[in-house]
Amino acid sequence: MHDREKNIKFAVILNIGFTAFEIVGSILTNSLALLSDAIHDAGDSIALTSSLVLEKKAKKGPDKIRTFGYGRLSLFSAVISAIFLVAGSVFILSQAIPRILNPEHVDGFGMMWIAVIGITINFLAFLKVRRGQSVNENIISWHMLEDVLGWIAILFGSILIQFWDNHQIDSLLTIGITAFIMFGVFKNLRKSINIFLQGVPEHIDMDKVRNTILSIKGVKNLHDVHVWSIDGENNIFTGHIVIDTNSLKYVD
């Protein structure tokens, strides 16, 4: 547990540090692509920090007021992060689209060296965190690998800017990064909304659940069946099962 929290805290510190690094880099190079990646990292920092705080509270067991426990608190980190990322992405797009028609000078050489630093540090961080065994650590390690791929895209774009002297590439790269961010946001948000609306978990086949219960000897009928998830990991089943009393054996 100690190593797990240590790895997550390491990811938080790295994301916060890199957010500041990218913001400064975007100002120095006038690159919106760097700024869009900074917003991505800032959103991840918010999600990781809030999950660290809320996860401890979420582990609290059921009580007289919260009979199902506090497991859903951990979902708020995804919602908070999503709100920030959507707002940030809208702002970035409002800046990037006009630049396609009226390009501004971007320091491609500076972008290139910032990207090289980003690739190196994020890849080393990925190698460190991927040793973890928990679900959160696996998610974080994949996020860091995605960051490496994002930095490779920025590196490639910076080289094209220098080679072709076409500064619209930065705007196009920004739109691509923003689209990738929004895809991830809506994908994760859809899962969170399904849990909040008490939807059936994606991996559960309701017909299979019904057939399995009805195949049990002595079960005559099944109705009012509900399956939902507390937090995406712990699932709950409720239903009215009609039993054939003649098949039961009573013991005094």
CATH code at position 12: 1.20.1510
Average pLDDT, the chain: 84
Residue 39: C-alpha distances to residues 55, 142, 192, 244 (Å): 24, 18, 21, 60
The total of structural domains in the chain comes to: 2
- Of the residues 162, 177, 196, the one at which a domain ends: 196
Do 187 and 126 share a structural domain?
yes
Do 210 and 192 share a structural domain?
no
For residue 74, pLDDT beyond 50? yes
- Of the residues 178, 196, 214, the one at which a domain ends: 196
Question: What integer is the mean pLDDT of 228-245?
Answer: 87
pTM: 0.76
Do 105 and 10 share a structural domain?
yes
Q: What percent of the chain has pLDDT over 70?
A: 89
Q: Quick one: pLDDT at residue 227?
A: 94
Do 236 and 125 share a structural domain?
no
Do 140 and 58 share a structural domain?
yes
Do 227 and 177 share a structural domain?
no
User: In residues, how long is the chain?
Assistant: 252
Do 175 and 210 share a structural domain?
no
In a domain? residue 201: no
For residue 134, pLDDT beyond 60? no
Of residues 147, 159, 125, the one with CA closest to residue 38? 147
The residues pairing with 249 across neighbouring beta strands, listed in sequence order, are: none
CA 214-215-220 angle, 5° bins = 45
The answer to whether 29 touches 107, Cβ cutoff 8 Å, is yes
The answer to whether 232 touches 135, Cβ cutoff 8 Å, is no
In a domain? residue 10: yes
Q: How far is CA 8 from the centre of its chain?
A: 14
For residue 14, pLDDT beyond 90? no
Describe the chain by its helix, strand, coil percentages, rounded to 5: 70, 10, 20
For residue 248, pLDDT beyond 70? no
pLDDT per residue over 157-201, tens digit each? 999 999 998 999 999 999 998 998 888 888 878 888 888 888 999
Do 94 and 23 share a structural domain?
yes
Q: What is the rounded CA–CA span in Å between residue 214 and residue 224?
A: 14
Q: How far is CA 104 from the centre of its chain?
A: 32
Do 136 and 78 share a structural domain?
yes
**pLDDT band at residue 43 using 50, 70 and 90 as cut-offs:** confident
Q: Quick one: pLDDT at residue 246?
A: 73
**pLDDT band at residue 50 using 50, 70 and 90 as cut-offs:** confident
The answer to whether 212 touches 116, Cβ cutoff 8 Å, is no
In a domain? residue 32: yes
Do 113 and 57 share a structural domain?
yes
| The token pair that represents 155 in the structure block | 């590196």
What range does the domain containing 240 cover?
A: 206-247
Q: Quick one: pLDDT at residue 112?
A: 95
Q: For the chain, where are the E strands, in sequence order? A: 219-229, 235-243
In a domain? residue 252: no
| The token pair that represents 5 in the structure block | 């929290």
